[in-house]
Structures are given as C-alpha cells and as structure tokens.
Chains A and B, each alone.
Chain A
Amino acid sequence: MKPDRSKHWILISILILVAGAAWVWVSKASPGSTTGGGIPAPHEGFLAPDFSLQTSTGETLTLSALRGQPLIVNLWASWCAPCRAEMPAFERVFNQYKDQGFLILAVNVTSQDDLSNAAAFAEEFGLTFPILFDTQGEVSHLYQSSALPTSYFIDKEGIIQEVVVGGPMSEALLRIRVEELLNTE
C-alpha cells in the first residue's frame, strides 16, 4: 500500500471503529429488554407458561405453585417409541435427585392418546413421579409441542433453561441437566 493510501486506510479504519464504539454506547440494553423477562413462552430463557392439570391420583397440580423446585415438564404419549425408551431413565433420575427437591411432571398428551393406554404405560414402567393428563390438549398447545417427546428443563425461578425436542434422552444427559438445574442459584 502506498503511504498516502495507507494513511487514508488508517483514517477510515479509525472512523469506522469510532462509529462502532458509538453504536455500542447508543444501543445499550435497557433494563429487562434482553431476556424473556416475565413473558411466558415455551422457549429457553422465558418463563414457563403456567398450567393446571389433574394427575393420575386425582390431585390438581399447578406449575406456578411449584416455583422454587427445579423440574422437568415432559410431554409424552403411550404410542411414542422414544417416550417409551427414555421413561426408565426418567424414573431412575427422579429417584436419585427427588430428595434434593427435583421433580418431573410427565404430561401425557391425552388428546392424542388413550387414557387407559396412558395409565397402563405408567404402571408398566412403575413411574413414581406425577403423571398429568392433558385431555384437551391445552398444555400441548400452550407449549407449541411439535413432536413427542418434548422435555422442558425449568429452574427454581420458573425459567426454561433448555428445551429438548425428540428422544430418547440418555441418562447421562438427564443427570447432567438435573445437576445443572440444582446447582443454579
């Protein structure tokens, strides 16, 4: 580069960098503008949309009432092969971490399933965590579920930390994510 052109280039570069720095300053984030904040949406970083469903024991569980506990909301159906494959790992992981406050809400998408098949499925695998029945498909709609299984890892604050679409999830992945949820302040 000739000396004159070199000087021009340096000048242009400085101008670009000063403009860039000014833009960084001008486009500072205002408080609460860069996260999902309090908006409920079925995506990482957002507040998990609230729902109330009846469990297999007749009790009604409300998600927001469980704030303070890290949990997994798992959408499943009895006909879904990956759901079947990953459910034993869910049960083992639940038993391993339940004493630390960890919970699994297994939401059967009953609107796409059969209640008796779902109950038989839960019995076959000896599931001890709450099984909820989404008979009207409200939760599946609220969580914009496009495939089964889908799992939402929700921290103590009720914020979705990760969404895993499809399966089966390995036990190692489940344990790692649960430990991360338990260690999140």
Chain B
Amino acid sequence: MFPILQLGPLAIQVPGLILLLGIWVGLTLTERYAPRRGIAVNTLYNLVFLGLAAGIIGARLSYIIRYPSIFIDNPASIISLNPGLLDSWGGSAMAFIAVIIYGQKKNLAIWPTLDTLTPFLAVMAVALGLSHTASGSAFGSETNLPWAIELWGTQRHPTQIYETLVALIVLFIVWPKREIWFTFNPGIYFSFFIAISAAFRLFLEAFRADSVLILGVFRSAQFIAWIALALSLWAIARLQAREKPSSAASS
C-alpha cells in the first residue's frame, strides 16, 4: 500500500492522483470513439466536466445544508480544499441532475451517450481498483492462502488486486476499438459492460472484509450488484429486440 507520495514538502495523496489520471486516460480513450456514436468530442468533454463540477458543488452543498450553523461561523470553510467536506451522495445526485439537464438541452439520446461513456467507466473501474490498492481500502477477509497479503494486522485476500485485475479483464472485453461493439443496437454495449461488472462485483464482494451487512449476514453490495445484473440482462433483451437504428433511419 502506498497512500502518500512525499515530494519534498508536498504530500501527494496517491489514491486521488490515480483517480485523476483515470479521468484523463478514460476521456482520452473515449473521445476517439465518441464521433462514431454520434457524440461530438466537445459535447462529451462538456458533459463530463459539467458532471464533475456539479458533483463537487453538490458534495459541498450537502454538508452546508446539513450543518448551516458551522458554516455560518466559518464561512471560509465553504471554499475549503478539504476533501473530507465533500459528501459523495450529495455530489452524485447533483452530478446526475446536471448531466440529465445538459443531455436534454443538447438533445442527447440516452443509450448512445451511455455507450460513448462506457470506455470511460471501464477505465475508471481500473483506476478505482488501483486507488484502493494504494490506500489499502476495500480490504479483504482473513485467509492463509499462499497469495494472501499482510494488511491491517493480519493475512488477507488481496481484494484490491482482484478488483484491479477484474477491471482490466472487463476493459479488455469492452475495448472500444473492437468493431463488434458498433454492430449492436444502442445501449447494448453499455448494458453488457454493466452486466459483467456487476457479475464480477457480486462474486468478489464475498472476499471483502469491509462489507456493509443487511440482516447481519448478507452483503448489501451483492444485492445492489444482483439488481444491476438483472436490470442490465433485461435491458439487453429489450434493446436487442428493437429494430436496428440504421434500418429505422432508411425507412
């Protein structure tokens, strides 16, 4: 685990740095194939950066709304650089709303947009695995398997490595250069990515030691992954049954 990179007086948070690199690599890969799905590169960048900006504002607003008196006493904290004052739920909600509004204004069709963003999401999954490897978060349960790693006081499943390897496999499968991914109806590429990612998450969660439990025994992430898997399989069936857009356009 390698949480901090000390460069002279600067202590750089390696997990955050990896995620930033992931955004850059993901966008670089995604922009190359966006035009083939009818999304202009500028639109793609606007969409992603609007989502990120709205996410950061929403994440901070969420804290300000919950603790108004503290921020009235310390107004400078409203623009504090502390990442601890960013709430992930508030940020996700605001980013989602901003992206939906922008998409509607630009008349972006939802499935081709999601297909366009799929390589970005696949790269971010790899970056997330690497950032967990750097921080030691998302740690595994105790084991005495030969490939166990010493972490947080005991020998554990290297779940961060599993997560990274699986994300790399998924990225390899959904690699956007493959011609086959342009032959399906819009939405199938994205739904397939969600289906395999959810299936792998459902499997790997069993080796985690930090799962949030339901009823004291069931892992909540597995429930969410199972629902995502079911919805994506259903979406693939529905989307495949649709008429191809090319034939629709010619009719």
> Which residues does A use to contact B, with CB under 8 Å?
1, 6, 9-10, 13, 16-17, 20-21, 23-24, 26-31, 33-36, 39-41, 43-46, 81, 146-147, 162, 164-166, 169-173, 175-177, 179
Please determine whether B152 and A41 come into contact, CB atoms closer than 8 angstroms. Answer: yes
Using Cβ atoms and an 8 Å threshold, which residues of chain A touch B9?
A: 81
Q: Is B182 an interface residue (CB 8 A)?
A: no
The reply to whether B237 and A9 contact each other, CB–CB distance below 8 Å, is yes
Task: Assess the A29–B202 pair: CB atoms within 8 A.
Answer: no
The reply to whether B13 and A165 contact each other, CB–CB distance below 8 Å, is: yes
Chain A nearest CB, measured from B38 CB (Å): 23
| Complex Cα–Cα for A171 and B71 (A) | 9
Q: Is B205's beta carbon under 8 Å from chain A?
A: yes
Q: Are B84 and A39 in contact (CB under 8 A)?
A: no
Which residues of chain B are near A147, meaning CB under 8 Å?
Answer: 4, 6, 11
Inter-subunit contact B218/A173 (CB<8 Å)? no
Q: Are B3 and A20 in contact (CB under 8 A)?
A: no
Closest 7 CB pairs of A and B: A27-B206, A172-B77, A147-B11, A41-B152, A170-B80, A13-B233, A1-B240
Q: Flag if A169 contacts B219 (CB, 8 Å).
A: no
With A9-B237, A28-B218, A29-B213 as known contacts, state yes or no: A43 contacts B152, CB within 8 Å: yes
* Set B11, B67, B209, B225: member contacting A172, Cβ < 8 A: B67
CA distance A29 to B141 in the complex (A): 10
Min distance, Cβ A50 to any Cβ of chain B, angstroms: 13
Q: Mark B206-241, 1 if CB is under 8 A from A, else 0.
A: 101111010011110011011001100110110011
Q: Is the CB of A39 within 8 A of B199?
A: no
A166: B residues at CB distance < 8 A: 4, 11, 13
* A10, A27, A41: residue with the most chain B Cβ atoms closer than 10 Å: A27
In residues 71-122 of chain B, which contact A (Cβ within 8 Å)? Answer: 71, 73-74, 76-77, 80, 82, 84-85
Q: Establish whether residues A171 and B74, one from each chain, have CB atoms under 8 Å apart when the complex forms.
A: yes
A171 to B141, CA, bound (A): 36
B223 proximity list for chain A (CB < 8 A): 24
A29 and B226 contact, CB distance less than 8 A:
no
In the complex, the chain A residue whose C-beta lies closest to that of B152 is: A41
Q: Are B154 and A6 in contact (CB-based, < 8 A)?
A: no
Within the complex, the shortest CB–CB distance from B1 to chain A, in Å, comes to 9
Verify if B63 is at the interface (C-beta below 8 Å from A): yes
B152–A36 CB distance below 8 A: yes
Please name the residue on chain B nearest to A146 by beta carbon.
B4
Question: Can you sample 23 A-B contacts with CB below 8 Å?
Answer: A1-B237, A6-B241, A9-B233, A17-B230, A23-B206, A24-B218, A24-B223, A28-B219, A29-B219, A33-B142, A34-B211, A39-B154, A41-B152, A146-B6, A164-B82, A164-B84, A166-B11, A169-B84, A170-B80, A170-B82, A171-B73, A176-B67, A177-B84
Known: A24-B226, A170-B74, A172-B80. A10 touches B3 (CB 8 A): no
| Minimal beta-carbon separation of A173 from chain B (angstroms) | 5
A177 to B85, CA, bound (A): 10
Residues in B with CB closer than 8 Å to A170 are 74, 76-77, 80, 82, 85
Please, which residue of chain A has its CB at the minimum distance from the CB of B232?
A: A13
B residues 20-76 in Cβ contact with A at 8 Å? 63, 67, 70-71, 73-74, 76
Asked if A17 and B74 make an inter-chain contact with CB atoms under 8 angstroms apart, the answer reads: no
Interchain nearest-CB distance for B154 vs A (Å)? 6
Q: Do B85 and A173 touch across chains, with their CB atoms under 8 A apart? A: yes
